[in-house]
């Protein structure tokens, strides 16, 4: 899996470390038989001045999904595992619906 870290997430180092841990968890979850998958991390500023970390997961065959995480979420590895499993499940579900629609045509 190819993981890209935008410059905006490289400081503070503690945040980048959490993103790298989450990326490793995602790599463990992603099924290699589903084709090439890439992940991209970026940082967004929330209206109240808090940072949100955006994850964009792209699969050539399944599509893409974007979601955000707070720093507190990233620091909780068990929570992140569940969130990442949900994200991957959502992509798989989207893909299966797409295949089903194609079969119906």
pLDDT band of residue 99 (cuts 50, 70, 90) is: confident
Between 42 and 32, whose confidence is greater? 42
Among candidates 56, 78, 69, 63, which has minimal Cα distance to 5?
56
pLDDT given at position 94: 87
Tokens of 84: 């990442």
Q: 4 forms bridges with which residues in the sheet?
A: 40
Place of tokens 């089903």: 100
- Give the span between the Cα atoms of 23 and 29, in whole angstroms: 10
pLDDT given at position 55: 98
Please state the pTM of the whole predicted model: 0.89
Burial category of 81 from C-beta neighbours within 10 Å (exposed 0-12, middle 13-18, buried 19 and up): middle
The tens digit of pLDDT for each residue in 44-88 reads 988 788 899 999 999 877 789 999 999 999 999 999 999 999 999
43 pLDDT higher than 90: yes
Name the CATH architecture for the domain at 2-104: 2-Layer Sandwich (3.30)
The tens digit of pLDDT for each residue in 6-37 reads 999 998 899 999 999 999 999 999 976 667 89
- Give the span between the Cα atoms of 4 and 52, in whole angstroms: 16
pLDDT given at position 39: 95
DSSP code at position 47: T
The tens digit of pLDDT for each residue in 76-93 reads 999 999 999 999 999 888
Tokens of 88: 């991957």
């Amino acid at each position: 899996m190819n993981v890209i870290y935008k410059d905006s997430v490289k400081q503070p180092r503690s945040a980048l470390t959490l993103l790298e841990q989450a990326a490793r968890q995602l790599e463990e979850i992603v099924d290699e038989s589903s084709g090439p998958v890439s992940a991209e991390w970026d940082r967004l500023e929330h209206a109240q001045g808090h940072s949100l970390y955006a994850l964009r997961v792209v699969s050539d065959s399944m599509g893409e999904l974007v979601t955000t995480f707070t720093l507190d979420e990233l620091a909780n590895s068990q929570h992140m595992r569940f969130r990442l499993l949900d994200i991957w499940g959502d992509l798989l579900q989207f893909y299966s619906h797409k295949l089903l629609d194609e079969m119906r045509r």
